[in-house]
Every structure is written in C-alpha cells, then in structure tokens.
C-alpha cells in the first residue's frame, strides 16, 4: 500500500480549485502514508519539498523556496503571506490604472479620447494641433504620475 501512496505523492500537485491549506493537508497525509517508518524530520523535509514543488503559482513557489521554511506549517504560512501581498499589490496597481483612466476621462475631451493617431503625413493641420495638445497633456500627466501613485495628488 505504501507504494500506492508514494506514487500518488510523486504525481501530486496543487489543483486549480484547491486552496493552499487543502493542498498542504493532502501533502502531509500522503507523505505520512507513503513513508510511515521514516523519522519525522525526514518526513517533514519530504513534505516541504513536495509542497513547494507542486504549488500552482511559480512566483509563490520561488518566494517560499528562497525563505527556506523549516516546517510544512511554516511553508504554508509563508505561501499564504506571499499570496496576500501579491494580491494587495495587484489591487493597488488596478486602483492606479483606474485613477489614470479617470484622469484621462476628465482631462481629455471626447474628440481627443477618440483621436486616431495615424501617421502625420495623412493628417490635416488641425488634427496635428489636436495631437500636439494630447501629447502635452500626456507629458504633463507623466510628470505627475509618481505623485498619483503615492496618493500625494488626487484627480477626483
């Protein structure tokens, strides 16, 4: 029976619908069943390696491996922490993108927002002046971008 558990452990990776906690618990169970006579320290090491190697998210896998967890619970804790930080950063980036979109929606008139930036040779002179106006506003925005992301300026 141990051979069956070893095979299951070898082929085990985190499923797309599986939480980190569920995956960790299953790795723990399979490791104990596959190697029941091995000392706890060795079992713990095998479980950590399998848990990390089978993580769905490569960035989480790399971050936790670099942290060198000593226990399976520590590996789980570090994976959960990294996942939370990663989601927080993505949320902040999304908020920043929404601020940029809101800013351009307020600053640029509708014709400027829908202006097609074709080549200059195809464009009448008044279209070129619109492109210049848009360019100036984009440059102005770029100079203030770092302030926007650090919430020192609000465009609401």
Inform me whether the pLDDT recorded for 94 exceeds 90: no
- Judge contact between 9 and 35, C-beta under 8 A: no
The pLDDT of residue 86 is 84
More confident residue, 66 or 149: 66
More confident residue, 24 or 151: 24
The pLDDT of residue 153 is 45
pLDDT level of residue 154 (50, 70, 90 thresholds): very low
Question: 27 is written with which tokens?
Answer: 């790795």
- Judge contact between 75 and 20, C-beta under 8 A: no
Q: Which of 1.10.20, 1.10.1200, 3.30.70, 1.10.3470 is the CATH number of 2-86?
A: 1.10.1200
Apex 86 CA angle, 85 and 90, nearest 5: 115
- Judge contact between 20 and 78, C-beta under 8 A: no
Q: Helix, strand, or coil here: 134?
A: helix
Q: Which residues contact residue 148 at a Cβ distance below 8 angstroms, ignoring those fewer than 6 apart?
A: 96, 99, 100, 103, 155
The pair phi, psi for residue 41, each rounded to 5°, is -60, -40
What global pTM score does this model have? 0.60
Give CA–CA dist 123/91, Å, rounded: 40
- Judge contact between 155 and 99, C-beta under 8 A: yes
The pLDDT of residue 85 is 86
Q: Helix, strand, or coil here: 75?
A: helix
pLDDT level of residue 136 (50, 70, 90 thresholds): low
Give CA–CA dist 127/96, Å, rounded: 30
Say how many C-beta atoms besides its own lie within 10 A of residue 30's C-beta.
20
């Amino acid at each position: 029976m141990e051979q069956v558990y070893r095979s299951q452990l070898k082929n085990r990776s985190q499923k797309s619908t599986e939480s980190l906690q569920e995956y960790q618990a299953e790795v723990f169970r399979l490791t104990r069943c596959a190697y029941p006579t091995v000392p706890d320290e060795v079992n713990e090491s095998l479980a950590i390696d399998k848990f990390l190697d089978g993580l769905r998210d490569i960035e989480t896998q790399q971050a936790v491996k670099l942290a060198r967890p000593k226990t399976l619970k520590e590996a789980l804790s570090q994976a959960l922490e990294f996942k939370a930080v990663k989601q927080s950063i993505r949320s902040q980036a999304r908020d920043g993108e929404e601020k940029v979109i809101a800013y351009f929606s307020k600053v640029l008139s509708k014709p400027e927002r829908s202006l097609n930036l074709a080549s200059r040779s195809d464009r009448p002179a008044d279209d070129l002046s619109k492109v210049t106006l848009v360019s100036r506003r984009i440059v102005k925005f770029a100079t203030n971008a770092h302030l926007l992301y650090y919430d020192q300026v609000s465009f609401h």
